[in-house]
A = this chain, B = another copy of it.
Amino acid sequence: MKIALAQINPTVGDLNGNVDRILRYARRAHRQGADLVVFPELSVTGYPPQDLLEHPAFVEAVQEALDRIAAAVPQDLGVIVGAPVPNDDTVGNRLYNAALLLENGRRHAEARKSLLPTYDVFDEHRYFEANEAPSVIEWCGLRIGLHICEDMWNAHQQAQPRTYERDPLGELAAQDPDVFINISASPFSIGKHDDRNALIEQICADHRRPFLLCNQVGANTEIIFDGDSRIHHADGTQTACAASFEEDLLFWDTDEAASTCTVRRDDTADLHDALVLGIRDYYEKTDIFTKALVGLSGGIDSAVTCALAAEALGPERVLGVTMPSEISSEGSVSDSEALADNLGIEFAKIPIKPAIDAFGDMLAPAFEGTEPGVAEENLQSRARGVTLMALSNKFGHLLLSTGNKSELAVGYVTLYGDTNGGVAVLSDVLKTRVYELARHVNARAGRAVIPQNTIDKPPSAELREDQKDTDSLPPYEVLDAILMRYIEQKKEAPRIVAETGYDPSHVRDVLEQVDQNEYKRRQTPPGLRVTRKAFGVGRRMPIVGRWHRPAAEPVTTDEPVTTER
């Protein structure tokens, strides 16, 4: 039997488009001799459909879409797709997250998800009822341990404590399947590929069955799927590897021997490719924009954002705008212009002095007797934000927000100013990683696309004379080491002090700044998630009210002290 894995990129809610895509791939797999073709989790709806699932009319339309797929696939081809299906019982959440095997116009079998992730960006208990007893399904003599995404991840958590009591793979293994097939919508984060390798090796060691994983690819608002679909022999050896960050079709013939394959991935290259995909899918799936628009400051964040946009959309679909003030350095304009030249994008210059002067006049009576400060600094950022939004509104451009995770974390941004935009490209990328990205972009191009001066100059918001980020913030190596431990690893100040040796009061100050700027982040655009803990839907912190953390004296701890890069 020949099984195909179709690693496709569905769009959330676009049932017609997704059905077409599924049928296209099913026919292609069939032409190449497949007997069975497998699509990802919730491939009919895209992942995550969120509260669309609460609209009965949407769920009904999904069932009709399933019927259309079943009716239209080639005769005798089995097709496994993911979709929400109604729970007909009188009790419980109204849906199951299901994998359906369709053939010859009907639903041959259905596997329902047992473990419902409800953490970070996942809200599955909000919508779905859990399957209590997974069953191996049979199709053309093949016994398939069909299951969905999280169902495989409990084995990974054998380190105590585990989230789930149940082990659906163990339950399926007890029914003697010939093969495991997992359909997933497993998001990308840096390092996830290695996690999947380790997990599947362990599963194969435990259960000695071939393991096929078909994952979604593409970006849906914040969440990016890298694909990484794969086929493993019963001994754990990988025999087929899908392309990363793009659609692909893999085959496995149960009767033929296959050679092994391994994929080596690089964190910075993955990060680059994930962000490019994130920009492209936001732009193309939304399908209303004429261009992407980036405000260029001459600094590293806007330069990297702009380079990624040019890669994602083509330089002809990117407009860079420099908006110097009287405070701006000369490099603010010249480095921006050099970048635009290097990328081959359209470039415009709109000085903001008229707006600054106007607001100065308007506010003079109210501000009389006060010293210039944050209010005046923010005016400059907001004058730029208003200018960019005017261009966006007039010409239908997608404004890309350029702030990085480090500055969003501590609130070193102007709300309604530089945070403006439809999508925040670097909001999950710490500043030190932005530099790595810049070097990667240049290495990839084989030339200094991002001007060396942009990489070399000290970071500055340029909102007052001779301003440097280090006037307000610790050096980024220090800041990022603290932020990674607090945000991604949820460590508290004493532990961070113990691990880094940094001054306890400095560490505590950073943590307090992160907490105090929740109100800003609540109003920033959705950001592309590339780590295990991004700001946005996966991190839900209160705005009003505060936890007054204890002073940050270092603690000695029995836990191993990890060294982070």
Contacts and interface: CB of A to CB of B under 8 A. Distances in A.
Count of identical protomers in the assembly: 2
A549 B355 contact: no
Contacts of A389: 378, 382, 415-416
A542 interface: yes
Given A373-B394, A492-B57, A526-B522, A544 B286 contact: yes
A27 to B, nearest CB: 23
Contacts of A393: 374-375, 378
Contacts of A524: 523
A502 interface: no
Contacts of A366: 348, 350, 391, 394
A265 interface: no
Contacts of A357: 354, 358
A420 B540 CA distance: 21
A435 interface: no
Given A50-B542, A220-B544, 4 more contacts: A48-B542, A281-B544, A363-B387, A367-B394
Interface in A359-418: 359, 361-363, 366-367, 370, 373-375, 378-379, 382-383, 385-387, 389-391, 393-394, 415-416
A161 interface: yes
A56 B350 contact: no
B416 A58 contact: no
Contacts of A358: 354-355, 357-358
A403 to B, nearest CB: 13
B540 A50 contact: yes
A545 B163 contact: no
Contacts of A220: 542, 544-545
A224 B390 CA distance: 37
Interface in A501-551: 519, 522-526, 537, 539-550
Interface string A64-90: 000000000000000000000000011
Contacts of A391: 363, 366, 375
Interface centre among A49, A163, A358 (most CB of B within 10 A): A358
Contacts of A526: 522, 543
Contacts of A119: 126
Contact of A354 (B46, B164, B361, B374): B361
Interface of A: 11-16, 46, 48-52, 54-58, 61, 89-94, 118-119, 123, 125-126, 160-165, 219-221, 281-282, 285-286, 348, 350-352, 354-355, 357-359, 361-363, 366-367, 370, 373-375, 378-379, 382-383, 385-387, 389-391, 393-394, 415-416, 420, 422, 490, 492, 494, 519, 522-526, 537, 539-550
**Which 6 residue pairs of A and B lie closest in terms of their CB atoms, listed nearest first?**
A12-B545, A13-B547, A57-B492, A354-B358, A358-B358, A375-B393
Given A118-B118, A350-B363, A357-B358, A161 B89 contact: yes
Given A118-B125, A526-B543, A386 B359 contact: yes
B92 A163 contact: yes
Contact of A541 (B14, B50, B519): B50
Contacts of A374: 393
Given A355-B355, A386-B416, A490-B54, A285 B544 contact: yes
Contacts of A387: 359, 362-363
Contacts of A494: 57
